[in-house]
Structure 1
Amino acid sequence: MALHGIKTNLLTSAAVAIGSVSTAVIGLVATADDADAATFPLDTPVLVPVRSAMAKAGSTGTLHAALTAIAEIATPQVVVVRVASAAEGGDQDTAVLGTAAGNAYKGMQALLTAEAKTGVKPRILGAPGLDTQAVTNGLVAIAKKLRGFVYAMAQGNDAASAITYRAQFGDRELMLFWPATSKGPTDTIARALAQRAYIDQAQGWQKTISNVVVTGITGMSHDVSWSMDDDTTDAALLNAADITTIICYSGYRFWGNHTTSSEPSWLFESAVRTSQVLQDEFQRGLFWAMDKPITAGLIKDMISTVNARLRKLVVNNQLIGGRCWYDPDKNASSDLAAGQLALDYDFTACAPLEGLTENQTITDTYYADLSSQISSTGATSGT
Structure 2
Amino acid sequence: MPANYLHGVETQRVDRSPRAVNIVKSAVIALICTAPMGPVNTPTLLLNDKDGAAFGPDLAGFSCADALDAIYDQGDATVVVVNVLDPAIHKTTIATENSVVNASGQFKTAFPDVISLAVTASGGTPTYAVGTDYTVDMLTGRCQRTPASTIPANASLKLAYTYADPSKITAAEINGTIDAQGRRTGLKALADCYQLFGFAPKILIAPGYSTLATVSTELIAMADKLGGKALIDAPLGLTVAQAISSRGPVANSNFNTSNDAAMLCYPHVKVYDSVTDTVVLQPLSARAAGVMAAKDVEKGYWWSPSNTEINGIVGLERNLTAKIDDPQSEVNALNEVGIVTVFNSFGTGYRLWGNRTANFPSESGLSTFISVTRTQDIIDESIRYFTLQYIDRLQNQALVDAVVNSINQLINKLIGDGALLGGKCWYDVARNPETEFANGHLTFNYKLMPPPPFERGTFESELTSEYAASVK
TM-score norm. by structure 2 comes to 0.74
Q: Equivalent pairs: percent with the same residue? A: 29
- Could you say what the CA RMSD is over the residues aligned between the two structures, in angstroms? 1.9
For residues 53 and 291 of structure 1, the distance between their equivalents in structure 2, rounded to whole angstroms, comes to 41
- How far did residue 318 of structure 1 move? 0.4
2:261: which partner in 1? 173
1:113: which partner in 2? 192
- How far did residue 202 of structure 1 move? 0.6
Q: Does 1:52 align with 2:50?
A: yes
1:14: which partner in 2? 17
- How far did residue 66 of structure 1 move? 0.6
Q: Does 1:241 align with 2:239?
A: no
1:379: which partner in 2? none
1:158: which partner in 2? 239
Q: Secondary structure at the residue paired with 1:22?
A: coil
Q: Secondary structure at the residue paired with 1:363?
A: coil
1:377: which partner in 2? none
2:353: which partner in 1? 255
The answer to whether the 8 A contact 2:268-2:284 is kept is: yes
Q: Does 1:95 align with 2:173?
A: yes
- How far did residue 219 of structure 1 move? 0.8
**Distance verdict in 2 for CA 1:90–1:51, change over 3 Å:** closer
**1:296-320 residue CA offsets vs partner (Å, 9 max, x unmatched):** 2211221111111111111111011
- How far did residue 187 of structure 1 move? 4.6
1:104: which partner in 2? 183
For residues 143 and 322 of structure 1, the distance between their equivalents in structure 2, rounded to whole angstroms, comes to 26
2:207: which partner in 1? 128
For residues 229 and 307 of structure 1, the distance between their equivalents in structure 2, rounded to whole angstroms, comes to 41
- How far did residue 186 of structure 1 move? 3.8
- Structure 1 runs not aligned, ≥5 long: 372-383
1:211: which partner in 2? 307
Letter of the 1:263 partner, please give it: E
**1:124-149 residue CA offsets vs partner (Å, 9 max, x unmatched):** 11011211222111111111221111
Q: Does 1:182 align with 2:270?
A: yes
For residues 81 and 105 of structure 1, the distance between their equivalents in structure 2, rounded to whole angstroms, comes to 11
For residues 47 and 15 of structure 2, the distance between their equivalents in structure 1, rounded to whole angstroms, comes to 41
For residues 186 and 329 of structure 1, the distance between their equivalents in structure 2, rounded to whole angstroms, comes to 55
2:103: which partner in 1? none
**Distance verdict in 2 for CA 1:91–1:18, change over 3 Å:** closer
Letter of the 1:114 partner, please give it: C
Given candidates 296, 314, 326, the residue that maps to 1:200 is 296
**Distance verdict in 2 for CA 1:366–1:257, change over 3 Å:** same
- How far did residue 166 of structure 1 move? 2.7
**Distance verdict in 2 for CA 1:187–1:160, change over 3 Å:** closer
For residues 54 and 243 of structure 1, the distance between their equivalents in structure 2, rounded to whole angstroms, comes to 30
**Distance verdict in 2 for CA 1:114–1:318, change over 3 Å:** same
**1:321-369 residue CA offsets vs partner (Å, 9 max, x unmatched):** 1111222332121111111111111111211111100011112222322
For residues 326 and 198 of structure 2, the distance between their equivalents in structure 1, rounded to whole angstroms, comes to 47
TM-score norm. by structure 1 comes to 0.90
1:230: which partner in 2? 326
2:389: which partner in 1? 288
The answer to whether the 8 A contact 1:46-1:114 is kept is: no
For residues 438 and 312 of structure 2, the distance between their equivalents in structure 1, rounded to whole angstroms, comes to 59
- How far did residue 119 of structure 1 move? 3.6
* Higher-helix-fraction structure: 1
The farther-off stretch of 196-205 and 128-137 is 128-137
The farther-off stretch of 50-59 and 219-228 is 50-59
Structure whose CA Rg is larger: 2
- How far did residue 2 of structure 1 move? 4.7
Q: Does 1:276 align with 2:380?
A: no
For residues 313 and 306 of structure 1, the distance between their equivalents in structure 2, rounded to whole angstroms, comes to 11
* Higher-strand-fraction structure: 2
- Structure 2 runs not aligned, ≥5 long: 91-164, 249-255, 272-279
For residues 186 and 223 of structure 1, the distance between their equivalents in structure 2, rounded to whole angstroms, comes to 15
The answer to whether the 8 A contact 1:46-1:118 is kept is: no
- How far did residue 239 of structure 1 move? 0.5
For residues 88 and 68 of structure 1, the distance between their equivalents in structure 2, rounded to whole angstroms, comes to 19
2:217: which partner in 1? 137
**1:200-249 residue CA offsets vs partner (Å, 9 max, x unmatched):** 00111111110011111211110110111111110111000100110124
For residues 187 and 458 of structure 2, the distance between their equivalents in structure 1, rounded to whole angstroms, comes to 44
Q: Secondary structure at the residue paired with 1:41?
A: coil
For residues 9 and 281 of structure 2, the distance between their equivalents in structure 1, rounded to whole angstroms, comes to 73
The answer to whether the 8 A contact 2:85-2:166 is kept is: no
The farther-off stretch of 72-81 and 1-10 is 1-10
The answer to whether the 8 A contact 1:166-1:176 is kept is: no
Letter of the 2:24 partner, please give it: V
The farther-off stretch of 315-324 and 111-120 is 111-120
Q: Secondary structure at the residue paired with 1:125?
A: strand
